[in-house]
Structure formats: C-alpha cells, structure tokens
Amino acid sequence: MNVKNPQTRDLNTLLCENNITLDSAQIALLESYTALLLRWNETHNLSGARTIEGMHENIVDSLCPLHFLQSFKSALDIGSGGGFPAIPLSIARQNATFSLLEPRAKRFSFLQNVICELGLKNVSVYKARLESLNALFPNSPLQVDLITSRAVMPASKLMKMARGFLSKNGYFLLFKGSQFGANLKQEIPNASQNECFTRNDRIYFYTKNSFDF
C-alpha cells in the first residue's frame, strides 16, 4: 500500500488553494529543497522560516507570480539568499535558464548544494555582487528576459543597476512588502498601480524595462 508523505500532501493542498498546478516530480523536488533548507538553516541562518509550514509558505509566495508572468526563456535572480524565489521558479519552469547571484559564501555554498542535490540543470549560481556581474561575462554580456529579486534594496536603485542585463522586452519581478504600493509614485514616478499584484502582505511589482531614472 502506498502511503502519501504528509509533507507532500500539505504542500499539494497549499498549492491547490492558490491555483498553482505542478506535477508530482516538481512537488518532490520542492520537498527535497525544503528538507535541504531546513537542515542547513539549523546552523547557517539562511532563512527566517524555521518550520516546514514556513518553508512551504515561502514556496507558494515564490510561485504565485506564475499566474501573471509572461513567457520567458532566461532569468536573473539578484540576492538569491536561501533560494527564494529562484529555486521554486526554476523547478516550475524547467524550460527556462536561471542565473542566481549571491555574494555571501554560506548562501552561495548552499545554493551550489541545492543545484547538485536536486539535479537542476537549468540553474547556475555566481558568487558576486550585482556591481561586478559584468566581469563574469567579459565576452558575451548577460541578457535575460526576467529579473527577479526579494532583496531589500529600493526598487528604483535595483532597477537602475540591473536594467543593462534585461532584454529590450524583458520584465522586472520584485517581491516587496505591503507598504510598497503606497510609496510607489514617490520611488518610481512613472510606475502604475496596475503593475502591482497583491497577495496577503506581499506586493509583486511586475514591470517592463521602460523607466528613465
């Protein structure tokens, strides 16, 4: 008799409640990622989430933008930390390549381990800051369709620094807190509230590379 793993069932339920559809292999990878992050988090403080439930909520938070994301073939995640949102997104969109940027040694090592353990062939991680990213690609500058970030850097600053890596028709997807919408016009005068998607206390700012700073 096959007995379902209760963790998988719990994640399945949470995904279904948020209308996110993944296959069993993708869910298994997300569970393996959860287990790795929980184990490393005991000694390395990679994420504020300390429980399976907390990790699962971070996974759902990472995947909710799938409801409105345009098709993309390549993505750059800035300040990847413990892997949110890039690792869940890379599992959900395995036909796209993901470049993860993380300057801190422990987090970089963890992400390398995740890529190896989960066999994520569409993911690469670089131990560098955004300011030095060009030096990693001297002959063929990095250009992507999507730039993601949960970093605490102000949106306008991050977009100004990163826009050179975004293709002409590419998009930024920034994960921001609940106050971002109220301050949007002050930070980015030409932005529109229509570019903000809300879930609970999360605001997803999804916008084209079309601003003058």
pLDDT digits (tens, 9 = 90+) for 121-174: 999 999 999 999 989 888 888 999 999 999 878 999 999 999 999 999 999 999
* Mean pLDDT, residues 89-102 taken together: 98
Structural domain includes residue 213: no
Structural domain includes residue 141: yes
Q: Are 148 and 173 in contact (CB under 8 A)?
A: yes
Count how many domains the chain has. 1
Residues found in the chain: 213
Q: Is the pLDDT of residue 3 over 50?
A: no
Q: Are 92 and 67 in contact (CB under 8 A)?
A: no
CATH number at residue 97: 3.40.50.150
Structural domain includes residue 1: no
**pLDDT, mean over the chain:** 91
Q: Which helix (H) or strand (E) holds 145?
A: strand 144-149
Structural domain boundaries enclosing 146: 6-208
Q: Is the pLDDT of residue 24 over 80?
A: yes
Q: Strand, helix or coil at 94? A: coil
Q: Is the pLDDT of residue 49 over 80?
A: no
More confident residue, 148 or 9: 148
Structural domain includes residue 158: yes
Q: Which long-range contacts (CB under 8 A, 24 or more apart) does 90-93 make?
A: 90/120, 90/122, 90/123, 91/22, 91/26, 91/29, 91/30, 91/33, 91/118, 91/120, 92/20, 92/22, 92/26, 92/63, 92/66, 93/66
In the chain, the percentage of residues whose pLDDT exceeds 70 is 94
- Predicted pLDDT of residue 213: 54
